[in-house]
């Protein structure tokens, strides 16, 4: 039962990550393989803020829910600002050039976290405070699952409204015909910056949830492999579709978690996961280049 709960929890959080990346990649056409950097910013922001509060105040005299919401808000804000800054400097770049910019951003940030003392270096941040309400934790176990369900529903509702909004339609126009969007009075650079900042903020929110869940984070959690996993979820599920993002995340989380039931040796488990990701991505790109349920408007 615990394995099932953990799998559902990860499916929900990675679905939020896929919807967040889809906000920039599927709607605005900004390819990114550096979104693990925003996940790291959110996780470190929440962890360091939570530890600072615990070190300076007695949590028994603080309302727990506002304290946790403050840490999550801080994580979302810092991640969103990082996404906005990256967009300002990189949104003029096209396609592969912007893709390489996000890759460089993720690699540089990971090295910064490894070499800065206040992040714990390679040892990471340990002893991240968990969140309790009436002696019941909401950052691990079933409490965390309920929190993840709420966050998933909120982000799904938000993305559905963005798709139908003037902002969402403007992003689609920028993605397909940037010159046309200019003639319609839109500002492509501003739209892309807002899209990437929103995407980064949602990614940072997930980082803020994962930090107390694991109780420990280090730079190895947020490498290129993590970015490629999120990228693969969007590509397999479908560009420009929140349902596709959810489907892609579910497939790439559930299928590898079936390996223990197939009695796969631990020595080949990680390698087999990567093989499955690669095969799935190649097959989808060959027969469904815009994903399983990709938005046809992107054609």
pLDDT tens digits for range 38-51: 999 999 998 888 88
Residue 252 lies in a domain: no
Domain count, the chain: 1
β-strand partners of 3:
none
Burial of 6 (0-12, 13-18, 19+ CB in 10 A): middle
Burial of 107 (0-12, 13-18, 19+ CB in 10 A): middle
| Residue 82, CB-side half-sphere exposure with 13 Å CA sphere | 26
**Which pair of tokens denotes residue 222?**
């947020």
Its pTM stands at 0.87
Residue 238 lies in a domain: no
- Cα of first residue to Cα of last residue in the chain, in angstroms, is 43
Q: What pLDDT is stored for residue 138 in this prediction?
A: 62
Q: Does residue 84 come out as left (phi exceeding 0), alpha (psi in the -120 to 50 range) or beta?
A: alpha
Residue 295 lies in a domain: no
Residue 175 lies in a domain: yes
Residue stretches of the chain with pLDDT short of 50: 1, 296-299
Residue 125: closest CA among 235, 222, 36, 225: 222
Residue 79 lies in a domain: yes
Residue 281 lies in a domain: no
Residue 285 lies in a domain: no
Residue pointed to by tokens 């490629």: 228
Residue 272 lies in a domain: no
Q: What pLDDT is stored for residue 1 in this prediction?
A: 47
Q: Does residue 265 come out as left (phi exceeding 0), alpha (psi in the -120 to 50 range) or beta?
A: beta
- Distance of CA 168 to CAs 21, 190, 219, Å? 14, 13, 34
How many whole angstroms separate alpha carbon 127 and alpha carbon 142?
20
For the chain, the three-class secondary structure string (H helix, E strand, C coil) is CHHHHHHHHHHHHHHHHHHHHHHHHHHCCCCCCCHHHHHHHHHHHHHHHHHHHHHHCCHHHCCHHHHHHHHHHHHHHHHHHHHHHHHHHHCCCCHHHHHHHHHHHHHHHHHHHHHCHHHCHHHCEECCCCCEECCEECCCHHHHHHHHHHHHHHHHHHHHHHHHCHHHHHHHHHHHCHHHHHHCCCCHHHHHHHHHHHHHHHHHHHHHHHHHHHCEECHHHHCHHHHHHHHHHHHHHCCCCHHHHHHHHHHHHHHHHCHHHHCCCHHHHHHHHHHHHHHHHHHHHHHCCCCCCCCHHHC
- Domain of residue 30 covers 2-220
């Amino acid at each position: 039962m615990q394995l099932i709960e953990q799998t559902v929890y990860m499916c929900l959080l990675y679905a939020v990550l896929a919807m967040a990346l889809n906000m920039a990649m599927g709607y605005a056409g900004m390819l990114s393989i550096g979104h693990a950097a925003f996940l790291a910013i959110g996780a470190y922001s929440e962890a360091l803020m939570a530890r600072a509060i615990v070190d300076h105040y007695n949590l028994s005299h603080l309302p727990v829910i506002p304290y946790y919401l403050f840490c999550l808000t801080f994580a979302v804000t810092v991640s969103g600002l990082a996404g906005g800054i990256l967009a300002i400097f990189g949104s003029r770049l096209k396609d592969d050039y912007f893709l390489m910019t996000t890759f460089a951003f993720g690699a540089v940030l990971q090295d910064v976290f490894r070499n800065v003392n206040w992040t714990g270096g390679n040892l990471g941040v340990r002893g991240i405070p968990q969140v309790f309400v009436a002696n019941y934790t909401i950052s691990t176990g079933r409490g965390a699952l309920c929190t993840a369900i709420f966050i998933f529903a909120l982000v799904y509702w938000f993305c559905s409204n963005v798709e139908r909004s003037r902002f969402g339609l403007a992003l689609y126009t920028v993605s397909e015909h940037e010159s046309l969007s200019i003639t319609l009075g839109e500002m492509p650079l501003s739209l892309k910056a807002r899209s990437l900042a929103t995407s980064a903020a949602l990614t940072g929110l997930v980082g803020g949830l994962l930090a107390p869940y694991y109780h420990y984070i280090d730079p190895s959690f947020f490498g290129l492999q993590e970015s490629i996993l999120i990228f693969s979820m969007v590509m397999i599920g479908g560009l420009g579709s929140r349902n596709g993002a959810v489907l892609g995340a579910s497939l790439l989380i559930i299928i590898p978690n079936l390996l223990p039931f197939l009695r796969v040796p631990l020595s080949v488990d990680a390698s087999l996961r990567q093989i499955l990701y690669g095969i799935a991505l190649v097959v989808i790109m060959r027969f469904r280049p815009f994903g399983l349920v990709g938005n046809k408007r992107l054609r």
